[in-house]
Amino acid sequence: MSHQKNMQVMDFLLSRRSDSARTLVKPAPDGKSLEKILTAAARTPDHGKLIPWRFLVLKNQVLLKIATSIHEIGRAKQIDQEKLRKNVDIFSNAPLIVAVVSSPRSNEKIPLIEQQLSAGAVCLALLNASHADGWGANWLTGWMSHDKSFLETVFDLSEQEFVAGFIHIGTRTTQSVERPRPDLKKITSWL
Ligand SMILES: Cc1cc2nc3c(=O)[nH]c(=O)nc-3n(C[C@H](O)[C@H](O)[C@H](O)COP(=O)(O)O)c2cc1C
- Condensed to tens digits (0 to 9), the pLDDT of residues 55-81 reads 999 999 999 999 999 999 999 999 999
Q: Is 143 in the pocket of ligand 1 (CB under 6 A)?
A: no
**What's the confidence (pLDDT) of residue 2?**
83
**What's the confidence (pLDDT) of residue 55?**
98
**What's the confidence (pLDDT) of residue 1?**
74
Paired residues of 136 in beta bridges: 170
Q: How many whole angstroms from 138 Cα to the centroid of ligand 1? A: 7
Residues of the chain with pLDDT under 50: none
**What's the confidence (pLDDT) of residue 64?**
98
DSSP letter at 108 equals S
How do 97-102 and 162-170 pair as beta strands?
antiparallel
The superfamily CATH assigns to domain 19-174 is: NADH Oxidase (3.40.109.10)
Q: Is 20 in the pocket of ligand 1 (CB under 6 A)?
A: no
Peptide bond between residue 27 and the one before it cis (omega within 30 degrees of 0): yes
Pocket test for ligand 1, best of 84, 116, 138, 140 (most atoms within 8 A of CB): 140
**What's the confidence (pLDDT) of residue 10?**
98
Q: What is the pTM of this model?
A: 0.97
> Which of 184, 172, 42, 156 lies closest to 95, judged by CA?
172
Q: Is 136 in the pocket of ligand 1 (CB under 6 A)?
A: no
Q: Please enumerate in sequence order all residues whose Cβ is within 8 A of that of 54, keeping only pairs 6 or more positions apart, or say none.
A: 101, 103
Helix ranges restricted to H, the chain: 7-15, 31-41, 61-76, 81-92, 112-132, 148-155, 184-187
Taking only Cα atoms into account, the Rg of the chain, rounded to an integer number of angstroms, comes to: 18
* Separation CA 56–CA 164 (nearest Å): 12
Residues in the chain: 191
How do 136-140 and 53-58 pair as beta strands?
unpaired
Among the atoms of ligand 1, which is closest to the Cα of residue 139?
Answer: 17
**What's the confidence (pLDDT) of residue 116?**
98
**What's the confidence (pLDDT) of residue 119?**
98
CB of 167 within 8 A of CB of 137? yes
DSSP letter at 46 equals -
Among the atoms of ligand 1, which is closest to the Cα of residue 127?
Answer: 27
Give CA angle at 116 (144, 101), nearest 5°: 45
* Separation CA 80–CA 75 (nearest Å): 8
Mean pLDDT rounded to a whole number for the chain: 97
